[in-house]
Amino acid sequence: MVLSRKFVALTGLILLTRATASLSASNTTKNANANAIPFSPGFDIELALELAISLPSHSWEFGTASEALLELFDQQYSVFGARPFPVPILNPQDSPSLAYAQQKIVISTPPNGLSDGDGAVGDPASLGVSAVLLGQTNATFAQAAAAEIDYVIGGAPRWWNGAISHRAQYAELW
């Protein structure tokens, strides 16, 4: 099943990223895959990376892949890294995560401000970290990220207890 392969590839990459990050915390990860993946995980990591990049087809999958790539190649700037703030200025051509996200983000108006969320509030926002990072060098991405944040925080439907809805047209919790 294609969705299962996508989920397994993305989940595997995220788990591998976290394991690799703990083993190579002192390693500079902005270079080639060999530097980002210094240890053999016991399977073809290049194939797993290739699948994680090639299989996504929905906004939340693009966001998940972008985050996994950020944790793998630029771990110090991910939300789990040592220096995520202030928001760093990264060159998209030097960051596999940002190069990937830049190709996948389709700027529009919220709730689909960063991509087509197919009616979901949070799916386009999954590309938010990438849009904020890209926004450090491109004002269009910064404006799109700010608009998406404003929508999720102030415009998305909410449940009676204040929980942000999963769906954009009506309050629904998943």
Evaluate whether 153 touches 98 at the Cβ level (below 8 Å). Answer: no
Q: What pTM, to 2 d.p., does this model score? A: 0.78
Q: Where exactly are the structural domains of the chain? A: 2-155
Q: What is the pLDDT of residue 62?
A: 97
Among candidate residues 13, 30, 152, 168, the one with its CA nearest the CA of residue 92? 30
In the block, residue with structure tokens 């989920």: 7
Q: For the chain, 174 residues long, give each residue's pLDDT as a single digit of tens.
A: 444 444 444 444 444 444 334 333 333 333 445 567 777 888 888 898 899 999 999 999 999 999 999 998 998 889 888 888 899 999 999 999 999 999 999 999 999 999 999 999 999 999 999 999 999 999 999 999 999 999 999 999 999 999 999 999 999 998
Q: What is the pLDDT of residue 37?
A: 77
Structural tokens at position 101: 């996200």
Angle at Cα 3 formed by Cα 77 and Cα 93, nearest 5°? Answer: 30
> CA–CA distance from 127 to each of 2, 139, 161 (Å)?
22, 16, 26
